[in-house]
Amino acid sequence: MVEFDVVSLPETDHVAEGDTAPDFTRPLVNDEYWEDRALADVVDGPTLLLFHPMDGAFQGTYLYNTVDDHGWSDDVDVLGVSISTPYAHKRLLADRGDGVRIFSDPGADVIEEYGLAHDVDGMTGITESRPAVLLLDADRTVEHAWVASEHPEFPDGEAIDDAVAGLVD
Amino acid sequence: MSEPQITLYRLQACPFCERVVRTLDELDLPYRSRYVEPMHSERNVVKRVSGARSVPAIVDRETGVTMSESANIVEYLNGTYGEGGA
């Protein structure tokens, strides 16, 4: 077992279970095009909303490999959010994240509103998202929430499996 | 909120696409704006809806019309929705 030298992230008042996920409009990217979409218009059933660090960072790569391995997009809508551009999202979706769509939030305003902002040391001027997984029902109520409290930290795929199964059944 | 009937497929900073946007705005027509990739080979969605990979392309569900080429589109929009149009 390789020992990580993990950094604890400060406490944050993030969107949590029982909250209604705040609405926002951002370009939503699929494997063919992007267009402005409002979260409230896109969510029409159980939805996994994934916040992740910018495309290219290994955390996002791992996250979408996990999404594909568990086949979550077969059971629920899977939506990502990162600060990367639509062009970067399209490249990411060409390689992984089958059936996933990703919002582009370069100014990190949505990320800030969700209480997930993370200023990464050594990248001045860039506000990142900490990894977070929110499972929403059709009216955007948060049924399950996981937010990283260490850097790096990865979501527990089996816990998400259980939450998805609980909401879909 | 009702869905706009017109969908525009466009490329960022494409002057011909902006020309169509100007006409849509002048006619006060709501539209869905879908950006595609600069790489011609990656515009399968445009090929699927319009038969060609060129942008701009519009789909008008109100009339059932799908069209490419900005001059054609501008003429169509003015003729259909402009003053004196059908």
**Chain B residues lying within 8 Å of A89, measured CB to CB:** none
Chain B residue with minimum CA distance to A33: B36
Q: What is the DSSP code string of B34-48? A: EE--SSGGG-HHHHH
Task: Write the pLDDT tens digit of every residue in A106-155.
Answer: 999 999 999 999 998 899 999 999 999 999 999 999 999 999 999 888 99
Measured CA to CA, the distance from residue A41 to residue A25 in angstroms comes to 9
Average the pLDDT over A18-35 and give the result.
Answer: 98
Residue A113: closest CA among A89, A134, A99:
A134
pLDDT of residue B1: 53
Task: List CB contacts of B70: < 8 A, sequence separation 6 or more.
Answer: B16, B17, B19, B20, B56
Residue A139: closest CA among A40, A31, A10, A1:
A40
CB contact under 8 A, B33 and A27: no
Residue B56: closest CA among B1, B3, B16, B12:
B16
B45 closest CB neighbour out of A27, A32, A36? A32
CB contact under 8 A, A35 and B34: yes
Task: Read off the tokens for B37.
Answer: 């990739």
Task: Write the pLDDT tens digit of every residue in B27-53.
Answer: 999 999 999 999 988 899 999 999 999
What's the complex ipTM? Answer: 0.88
Smallest Cα distance from A85 to chain B, Å: 12
**Chain B residues lying within 8 Å of A33, measured CB to CB:** 9, 34-36, 45
Measured CA to CA, the distance from residue B15 to residue B24 in angstroms comes to 14
Chain B residue with minimum CA distance to A35: B34
Taking only residues 82 to 111 of chain A, the set having a beta carbon closer than 8 angstroms to any beta carbon of chain B reads 86-87, 90
CB contact under 8 A, A33 and B44: no
CB contact under 8 A, A33 and B36: yes
**Chain B residues lying within 8 Å of A44, measured CB to CB:** none
Measured CA to CA, the distance from residue B18 to residue B33 in angstroms comes to 11
pLDDT of residue B2: 77
Smallest Cα distance from B10 to chain A, Å: 9
pLDDT of residue A4: 65
Average the pLDDT over A25-47 and give the result.
Answer: 97
Measured CA to CA, the distance from residue B75 to residue B82 in angstroms comes to 10
Chain B residue with minimum CA distance to A90: B37
Q: What is the DSSP code string of A82-100? A: ESS-HHHHHHHHHHS-TT-
Task: Write the pLDDT tens digit of every residue in B40-86.
Answer: 888 999 999 999 999 999 999 999 999 999 999 999 999 999 986 55
pLDDT of residue A74: 95
Mean per-residue pLDDT of chain A: 95
Q: What is the pTM of this model?
A: 0.93
Measured CA to CA, the distance from residue B36 to residue B12 in angstroms comes to 8
Average the pLDDT over A30-38 and give the result.
Answer: 97
Residue A115: closest CA among A145, A152, A76:
A145
Q: Percentage of chain A surpassing pLDDT 90?
A: 89
pLDDT of residue B83: 86
pLDDT of residue A25: 98
